Each structure stands twice: as structure tokens, then as C-alpha cells.
Amino acid sequence: MKFLRHAPTTFLDRAAPFLERVEAENNLLLGIGASLARGEMSLSAMPIVATIEDDEGVVLAALRTPPHNLLLSTGSEQAVIVLCDALKAEGIGLPGVTGPAELAESFAEKWAGEARELTMRQRVYSCTNVVPPPDPGGAMRAAREQELDALVSYVVAFNEEAHNPGDEVSARRMVKGLIERDRIFVWEHDGQIVSIATARQPTPHGIRVGYVYTPPERRRRGYASAITAAVTQRMFDKGFELCFLYTDMANPTSNAIYQRVGYEPQGESAMWRFTR
């Protein structure tokens, strides 16, 4: 097996056929890879864009957009070892790794030994048909430019709860771009924004629903179910065949919510932080 670096603009030319075999579990690499190719991402440093290949082609893909973790595709443990050795030989520093649970754990153990910490286990879901939830009152609509500050505060709060890296500046940049593309939505009830959700980083057949956030004081009223179902249906109406999302496996409430509106489990992902 060999380690190959790629330009961000050409990564998917090489990796997409492999990644699309398991599109749901590889949706992050497909979506982020496409955003890189279009020059849509502001980066604090050069990304890592690589594949591990044997005589028959790609057997693993990896991507990192600083300051985030290294992302792993589906693949083999042997390919993960080759990747780890190659990045170490280049003197690369990493804050952590995210990917299919077993592969991410193998990479973390080989990379960091005991200096690693499991920060989250996530379930990867996909949906092809929405099951409408009970109506909590109110309605979904696209977010508006004048709501930027409120939306940024929701995104920052989501990141804090989800242990995502990022700051208010990057959150503002992301939200502004999503407003411009009609990809961030609110659930409005009695004139108040009570929940938000986004649809980001399309793959060849789908798009990822995320940043589903309801302030603590408004939870357990059905708003998260309602906006998730509505955003998912909106994406289907726009021609997407699949929608994906991730949940914290330690949160039974969110897992139950998404399954009730039509999302089905596809795999497990793990996030590891390196402590030195």
C-alpha cells in the first residue's frame, strides 16, 4: 500500500468512486471534499488531503481542515496503519481523529498510545422518506439576514454542547454563507425562533442535516423533531435523494427523535482527542 497526497481541487476525482460505495458513512469526506474543490472553505492552515492505495485503487481516504480532527473514511485497519506511519514520517501534528469507530480507535491508539481521550461516539443516520412528527405549533422558514446575531449565538451554543472546535468569528462566517444559500432554517412559534437546523455540504446523492439546536428552556416540546423533518423534506423537494445526520450515542433523546421522523442507523463514528 502507498500513501498519496492530493490537491484539494482534485481529491474527489481520485477518491469519490471509493467513498460513494458507502455514501452515508463517508458523507463528511464527500461533502467537505466538494467544498474544498469549490474553494468555499476558509482555512487556518493547509489541509491534509490523502488516500491510501493498493494495486486496485483507493482503500482509505483521509482529510483534515484545520483546526478540526483528521477525518477517516471507511476502509481497512492495515490502511490506517500505513496512513499513521506516513503522517508521522512527515512530522504532522494532529489534535485528534474522527471516523468509523473501530478505525478511528486503531488510528488513535497507534498515533497517541495512552495519550488519547474518547470525546464522543456518534451514530450515523440516513433518511430516504420523512415520517411527519406531531405538530408542535409554528412553522419552518428560511433564516433571514437580520437574524444573523441570534443564529450565531445558537451555533456557538451547539458547538459548546457538542465539543466542536470553532469560535464566534468562524460561526458567523458559516452562518452568513448559509443564509445566502438558503441552507439555514428556523422554526418560528408565536413570533419567536425556537429551534434551528442547517443543510450543508452536499454529496453526490445527498446532503447533511446538522446544527439542530433548541435552547434548553424550549426543549421537550417537539421543535427539534419538527424542524428536522421539515428541513429533510425541503431537501428532498429540492432533488436530494438522501439526507444524513449525526447524533451523540450517549443522548437517547436525540437518537429517538431522528428515528421517529424516518432516519435509519448506518454506522458508528468516534471522535478521539490527543492529549499530547
The 10s digit of each residue's pLDDT in 204-229 is 999 999 999 999 999 999 999 999 99
* CATH number of the domain that residue 194 is part of: 3.40.630.30
Q: How confident is the model over 9-22, as pLDDT tens digits?
A: 889 999 999 999 99
Q: Is the pLDDT of residue 47 over 70?
A: yes
Q: In this predicted structure, what is the pLDDT of residue 158?
A: 94
Do residues 71 and 179 both lie within one domain? no
Do both 243 and 151 map to the same domain? yes
Q: Look at residue 180 and tell me whether its pLDDT is greater than 70.
A: yes
Domain CATH code at residue 77? 3.40.630
Per-residue pLDDT, 151: 98
Give the pLDDT confidence score for residue 67 in this predicted structure. 86
Single residue among 69, 90, 113 that ends a domain in this structure: 113
Distance CA 270, CA 252 (A): 17
pLDDT class for 170, splitting at 50, 70, 90?
confident
Task: Let me know whether 137 and 239 are in one domain.
Answer: yes
Its domain, for residue 61, covers 2-113
Contact 70, 94 (CB under 8 A): yes
Residue 96 lies in a domain: yes
pLDDT tens for each residue of 106-144: 999 999 999 999 999 999 999 999 999 999 999 999 999
Query: What pLDDT, on the 0 to 100 scale, is given for residue 44?
Result: 66
pTM score, whole prediction: 0.92
Mean pLDDT of 142-162: 95
CA-to-CA separations, 57 to 53, 60, 103, in angstroms, rounded: 5, 9, 19
The C-alpha atoms of residue 211 and residue 121 are separated, in whole angstroms, by 17
136 and 262 both lie in a single domain:
yes
Question: Are 178 and 46 part of one and the same domain?
Answer: no
